[in-house]
Amino acid sequence: MFAFEFPPINEILRWQDIFPGFNKIALIAVAATVISVSLFLIAARQDYREAPTGSRNLAEISVEFIEENIIMQTMGRDGLGWTPFLLSLFLFIYLCNVPGIIPILQMPATARMAIPIFLAIVVWFVYNATGIKHQGFFGYFKSVLFPPGVPKALYVLVTPIEFISTIVVRPFSLAVRLFANMLAGHLLLVIFALLSEALFEARDKVLIPLGILPFGMLIFLTGFEVLVGFLQAFIFTILTAVYIAGAAHPEH
């Protein structure tokens, strides 16, 4: 009745090099950095004494969003020193997510595992180093592996669970959450785009009007991906803040 051919998964996710060693994912990652840096450079050139507009307004909103909605909610005033790191993390992830719905690009860089796993490893190093810095090597691992208030007999169960959850699983959960959400959104957009195309170009004319259904879904999911891209960046960043705060102040 109609030809619907779902392309191989490699065709959807893997991109040929634009030049040797540099593909679309690398382009998006570099663009995310260039856009962030440009935004803040342009913002810094504006007169700070006047009410912020345009790029300065956007830059200040992003700073205040990180400070008020992430740091103050999870780390308190002591955590404001982490603003540059968390701001970089949020902007980079968000700008890597957004190209999933930008025509021509149509690929979130975080739907490939490289960037999420790198960021998760960075976060893993950061929160463990913070814990060791604040509590000392043995103090940190003692607070992680032997949480206070637990009956000693339960340490047989709790210690391995805490070791696996805090030391092993956290970076993977961070990376896989971001990667899987963005990959799923990307695949959904591909599926509904291909289904719309197949129905609109079906040889049986009766099927052509039905193409409006997947096409409508495609538009809805495109809007939804705007929210998902923001939400995943926010979740990754706030979890990072929670992990750092937990490592710095285990009593909280």
Partner 1 sequence: MQHAVATLAGGNLVSLHWVESETTDTTMPGEMMMTTATPTAASAGVAETTGPNPISPEMKELQWGAGSFIVLFILMRLVLFPRLKKGMDARYAGIRGDHEEADAAKAGARADVVAYETALSEVRAQAATRIDAARQTLDNERQSQLASANSRIAARRAEADAQASAAKAAGRGQISEAVIAIATKATQIASGRTPDAALVKQTVTTTMESAGAQ
Which of 70, 71, 75, 87 contacts partner 1 by CB under 8 A? 87
How many residues contact partner 1, by CB under 8 A? 55
From CA 252, how far away is CA 178, in angstroms rounded? 26
Q: In angstroms, rounded to a whole number, what is the distance separating the alpha carbons of residues 138 and 195?
A: 57
Beta carbon nearer to partner 1, 175 or 245: 175
Interface with partner 1, residue 112, by CB under 8 A: yes
Q: Is 186 in the site for partner 1 (CB under 8 A)?
A: no
Instruction: Retrieve residue 146's tokens.
Output: 């032997």
125 binds partner 1 (CB under 8 A): no
Separation in Å, CA 85 to CA 5, 76, 108, 138, 228: 44, 16, 22, 26, 22
Give least dist CB 127 to partner 1, A: 15
> Residues 6 or more apart from 115 whose CB is under 8 A from it?
25, 29, 96, 109
**44, 31 in Cβ contact below 8 A?**
no
By beta-carbon proximity to partner 1, the closer residue of 91 and 239 is 91
Indicate whether 53 belongs to the interface with partner 1 (CB under 8 A): no
- Nearest approach in angstroms of CB 112 to partner 1 is 6
Alpha-carbon distance of 21 to 223, in angstroms, equals 32
Cα 69 to Cα 35, 232, 245, distances in angstroms: 23, 15, 14
Interface with partner 1, residue 207, by CB under 8 A: no
User: Please, what is the minimum distance in Å from the beta carbon of residue 163 to partner 1?
Assistant: 25
- Does the footprint of partner 1 cover residue 58 (CB under 8 A)? no
Q: Is 17 in the site for partner 1 (CB under 8 A)?
A: yes
Q: How far apart are CA 12 and CA 21, in angstroms?
A: 19
Binding site for partner 1 (CB under 8 A): 2-3, 5-17, 21-26, 29-30, 32-33, 36-37, 40-41, 43-44, 48-49, 56, 59-60, 63, 83-85, 87-89, 91-92, 96, 109, 112-115, 117-119, 122
